[in-house]
Amino acid sequence: MRNPMLAMLLLVVVPAAHAQSSILDSFTLRLAKTPDLKDTEKPATVGFQRNDGGKNEYITQGAFKLDFDFGAANATTFSPNISWNHNTLASTPTNNWSVALGLKHRIVANEKLDTWVFSGSLGGQEDTTKSSTSTVAKASLNWFGWPEWKRAGSLDYWAIRPTLTVFSKHVSNAAPDKVTGIVPTGTLAGGLIALDAQAQLGRWTFSASTQALRPTSVVNGDTKRTHHLHSASITYQFVDSPTTGTAAKASQWIPGITLMRQVGDDPLNTIPKAGFTQLAFSLRY
């Protein structure tokens, strides 16, 4: 996805793909930044980025996901998906593709909708920049409960969502390290704990996330250490959220602009250690 305009074109094409027929009522096709397991809204982005070294580059990232509901109360969803992450930063360029089969089961714990979400996925990743391929198996647990706050009479709210994940990533093919000559193949396995926070005040949305990844085994040439990844963003949407109306006219696309700061690394999702600030146009459904 070297051409940002192609990503923009995809954003335009998606509304038609979201339409559901009577035969395919259980299917939903959607575009998001990542086909993640957290059920939080992450719009696809195409944008301009300025890294800590002062170099300006482009970034495009997004995902297509197909959801198929089944089981008792439709509480289980099968989600095949494909995603990309293209970053032209000269110091750490990335051009990643991934395909996965996801399975998610939701349990409403009580009538106030405190909900547990169990997720699992099996997929493959290809890093075309490093000529590496890998397979990933993950199992996660999300709790949609404490803490949260809601102001009646508006959309204003804030909430924190914890996530626990265990994972195993097997790298089967990779280019040798230019310095050591070691081929970084093998299995990266371990656990990850993350906290995602979001607050919405009118047209403004504040998001922050922090995660710690602790491997129990690593690929050849790597060392066992805890990896941290922190990010914070502020989004201003150009139109009000659809707060009134019937279901037929309530759904709409909401354009906005997002300023994000991210620091750290995540070997599970092939995010190299870096710090950058990103200004991006976003489109949320």
Partner 1 sequence: MKKTKSSPKAAAVTHLFEGETADACSEIRKTVDGVLRQASDGGISSATDNDALLTLYIIPDKVQFLYIALNQAFAHRTGFTPFGSSEIKKSSTVGAVRDGAYKHCGVKCSHT
Footprint on this chain of partner 1 (rule: CB under 8 A): 25-26, 28, 30, 39-41, 67, 69, 72-75, 77, 106, 108, 111-113, 115, 144, 148, 150, 152-155, 157, 159, 161, 198, 200, 241-247, 250-251
CB 143 → partner 1: shortest distance, Å?
12
Scored b (16 or more CB within 10 A) or e, 204-240 reads: ebebbbebebebeebbebbeeeebebebebebebeee
What's the one-letter identity of residue 136? V
The residues pairing with 134 across neighbouring beta strands, listed in sequence order, are 125, 171
The residues pairing with 107 across neighbouring beta strands, listed in sequence order, are 116
* DSSP 8-state symbol, 176: P
CB 77 → partner 1: shortest distance, Å?
5
Identify which of residues 106 and 169 has a Cβ nearer to partner 1 in the complex: 106
In angstroms, the Cα distances linking 189 to 172, 203, 216, 227 are 14, 40, 6, 13
CB 184 → partner 1: shortest distance, Å?
37
β-strands 132-144, 157-173 pairing: antiparallel
Taking the mean position of all CA atoms in its chain, how far away is CA 35? Answer: 6
CB 208 → partner 1: shortest distance, Å?
15
CB 251 → partner 1: shortest distance, Å?
6
Q: Give the count of alpha carbons within 13 A of 94, CB side only.
A: 20
Angle at 125 between CA 124 and CA 127, to 5 degrees: 155
Specify whether the CB–CB gap between 99 and 78 falls below 8 A: no
Identify which of residues 109 and 279 has a Cβ nearer to partner 1 in the complex: 109
CB 38 → partner 1: shortest distance, Å?
9
d(CA 193, CA 211): 6
Identify which of residues 49 and 81 has a Cβ nearer to partner 1 in the complex: 81
Identify which of residues 111 and 179 has a Cβ nearer to partner 1 in the complex: 111
CB 60 → partner 1: shortest distance, Å?
24
Tokens of 25: 């009522």
Identify which of residues 115 and 129 has a Cβ nearer to partner 1 in the complex: 115
Name the residue among 50, 136, 124, 126 with its Cα closest to residue 87: 50
Identify which of residues 114 and 266 has a Cβ nearer to partner 1 in the complex: 114
Identify which of residues 5 and 111 has a Cβ nearer to partner 1 in the complex: 111
CB 248 → partner 1: shortest distance, Å?
8
Specify whether the CB–CB gap between 110 and 129 falls below 8 A: no
